[in-house]
Structure 1
Amino acid sequence: MLDYAMLGVAAFAAGLVDAVVGGGGLIQIPVLFSVFGNTAPATLLGTSKLAGIFGTAAAAVNYARRVSIAWTTAAPAAIAAFLFAFCGAFTVTHVPADFMRTLLPLVLIAVAVYTFRRKDLGSVHAPLHTGRREQLFAVFIGAGIGFYDGFFGPGTGSFLVFLFVRCFGFDFLGASAVAKVVNVACNLSALLWFGYSGHLLWQLGLMMAVCQVAGSLIGTKLALKHGSGFVRRVFLVVVTILIVKTSWDAWHRW
């Protein structure tokens, strides 16, 4: 029971952080691996995706009620992410992802430094693209991040938020709302793969999903109440933790 309580708390915290800026997997996945050390990694990742899709979907619905989601960006990005996340999941079964583990901390450091130095980044919602140009950019970003999510995964939500702020001119709140829609597509695609291959602990995943939704509702309320400045600060904290975590993992693999 203590193990399940730990997983429930981890799922709640993951849902809260993920609803604001992404990165909930940083909390949830290590606890899963700690409690079920003898279970196949693919099964634990599939179970985490099962819980995560409920939390992310709840956040997306809450944002849609209060924030004007840019569907002309979100829809094509989500479709591309769905298709390419499946491709990424298939590829990782044939190609090792070791080079991504080494490269990821450097990419995250660049993202953190850029965001920190640009104090006004994401403070104002001023879309940069319209029409076919907007949709084309959305497809490229959705395809790239979708493939990354299926192939490797850590920091997917945070990367989405950063790219929608930097490349589309969204504020952090609007970018987080669009990121949730794309994240749902990524999770659904991965779930189809994990479910097909039998890598799911359904009862555990659904229990954690309830906790994820509870955390997601609180996280969304905090983001909506405190606005883009709050989301930006949480983003920098999560990216910093990601840098430390991925650097530690890469160091130990050397």
Structure 2
Amino acid sequence: MEISLEILGILFLVACVAGFIDAMAGGGGMLTVPALLAAGVPPTQALATNKLQGTFGSFSASWYFVRNGIIKLSEIKVYIFWTFIGAAVGAELVQVIDVDVLTSLIPGLLIAISLYFLFAPKTHVHEGKPKYSDAVLAFFVGGGVGFYDGFFGPGTGSIFTVCFVALANMSIVDATARTKVLNFTSNLAALLFFILAGLPIWKVGLTMALGNFLGARVGAKMVVTKGSKWIRPMVIVMSMLIAGKLLWEQHPQWWQSIF
């Protein structure tokens, strides 16, 4: 399909903002997927193209955290393994399984994430020992959230972050750094399956990828310099916005009765 230079420019700017948001709190897909659909990209190709551009953004943020010593890949290799496996399985199953049941559960989950970050006490580095071993967390958090990202996706970053804060007693900065590496892993795994199916629109995806890469680099830097002062509010706001958007799409009659 043909996309004008003006539309490509708009998509580039949207991807910049989305990359910034994703690096800090997740939820950038709430901007990029509707933008792709509004540009006339068919839904399945929109999801695949969004994975293409999102992979570059999550790589940008991950590389920043690794390069600055916030996270060491050797320490989370078991998480990377299970996240990749989970996302690959999810990306395969999404082609044959009805996602309506899963979709209906997501708004409640995101609202719960928002309330957790709103009312939970602030976390600090080395606040306490993890509640579970790395092997257990890698399988259930890495594999489970990875599966969800390959299968559906909205709010993946927020879900990863809250799991690491709640279950591993990590600081918000450490949790966000780990989240970005695993989010890149799940994005890459799902993208490989979309590429094999010939779904991404490369011209659009690579243009947005550049914007997402630049925005994610700025967002990652803000995580390191501003820490939880900015991340907690961003996670809360983005989780609530994503939940509201999904509820709007699933139950439009609710909003009609209110307004």
Query: What TM-score do the two structures reach when normalised by structure 2?
Result: 0.90
- The percent identity for this pair of structures is 33
Aligned match of 1:194: 194
Shift in Å, 1:197: 0.5
Deviations 1:45-80 (A, max 9, x none): 111111111111110111122343164663222211
Residues 141-150 or 223-232, more deviating: 223-232
Aligned match of 2:257: none
Aligned match of 2:80: 78
Please show how residues 137-156 of structure 1 align to structure 2 within 5 Å: 137-156=137-156
**Which of 13, 16, 21 is the aligned partner of 1:17?**
21
Shift in Å, 1:218: 1.0
Give, in whole Å, the separation in 2 of the partners of 1:169 and 1:109: 21
Please show how residues 223-238 of structure 1 align to structure 2 within 5 Å: 223-238=223-238
Q: Across the two proteins, how many residue pairs are aligned to each other? A: 250
**2:129 matched to 1:128?**
yes
* Residues 67 and 174 in structure 1, CA contact (< 8 A), matched pair in contact too: no
Aligned match of 2:103: 101
Give, in whole Å, the separation in 2 of the partners of 1:219 and 1:159: 18
**Which of 63, 86, 90 is the aligned partner of 1:61?**
63
Deviations 1:76-106 (A, max 9, x none): 2221111111111111111110112211111
* Residues 73 and 135 in structure 1, CA contact (< 8 A), matched pair in contact too: no
* Residues 145 and 160 in structure 1, CA contact (< 8 A), matched pair in contact too: yes
Give, in whole Å, the separation in 2 of the partners of 1:70 and 1:252: 45
Shift in Å, 1:253: 8.9
Q: Secondary structure at the match of 1:210?
A: helix
Deviations 1:144-199 (A, max 9, x none): 00111111111011100111111111111111100011011101111111000000
* Residues 67 and 177 in structure 1, CA contact (< 8 A), matched pair in contact too: no
Residues 63-72 or 158-167, more deviating: 63-72
* Residues 172 and 231 in structure 1, CA contact (< 8 A), matched pair in contact too: yes
Give, in whole Å, the separation in 2 of the partners of 1:253 and 1:128: 46
Residues 223 and 86 from structure 1, CA distance in 2 versus in 1: closer, same or farther, beyond 3 angstroms?
A: same
Q: Secondary structure at the match of 1:119?
A: coil
* Residues 70 and 178 in structure 1, CA contact (< 8 A), matched pair in contact too: no
Structure 1 unaligned runs (5+)?
A: none
Residues 40-49 or 179-188, more deviating: 40-49
Counterpart of 1:64, as a letter, is V
Q: Secondary structure at the match of 1:170?
A: coil
**2:242 matched to 1:251?**
no
Shift in Å, 1:127: 5.2
Residues 148 and 73 from structure 1, CA distance in 2 versus in 1: closer, same or farther, beyond 3 angstroms?
A: farther
Counterpart of 1:233, as a letter, is P
Aligned match of 1:171: 171
* Residues 114 and 239 in structure 2, CA contact (< 8 A), matched pair in contact too: yes
Residues 242 and 67 from structure 1, CA distance in 2 versus in 1: closer, same or farther, beyond 3 angstroms?
A: farther
Counterpart of 1:204, as a letter, is V
Aligned match of 2:39: 35
Query: What TM-score do the two structures reach when normalised by structure 1?
Result: 0.92
Give, in whole Å, the separation in 2 of the partners of 1:20 and 1:242: 15
Give, in whole Å, the separation in 1 of the partners of 2:252 and 2:12: 29
